[in-house]
Amino acid sequence: MAGGSAIRGSRVGAGPMGEAERGESIARFRVSYWCANGHETKPSFAEDGTVEVPAQWDCPRCGFPAGQDKNKPPMPMKNEPYKTHLAYVKERRTEAEANKILDIALKKLRGDE
Check the annotation: does 44 bind a ligand.
no
Please report the DSSP string for 12-44 in residue order. TT----SHHHH-PPPPEEE--EEETT--EE--E
Q: Is 76 annotated as a binding residue?
A: no
How much is the CA Rg of the chain, to the nearest whole Å? Answer: 32
Question: Do the annotations mark residue 35 as ligand-binding?
Answer: yes
* Residue 39 assigned ligand-binding role: yes
Enumerate the known binding-site residues.
Answer: 35, 39, 59, 62
> Would you list which residues are annotated within the binding site for Zn(2+)?
35, 39, 59, 62
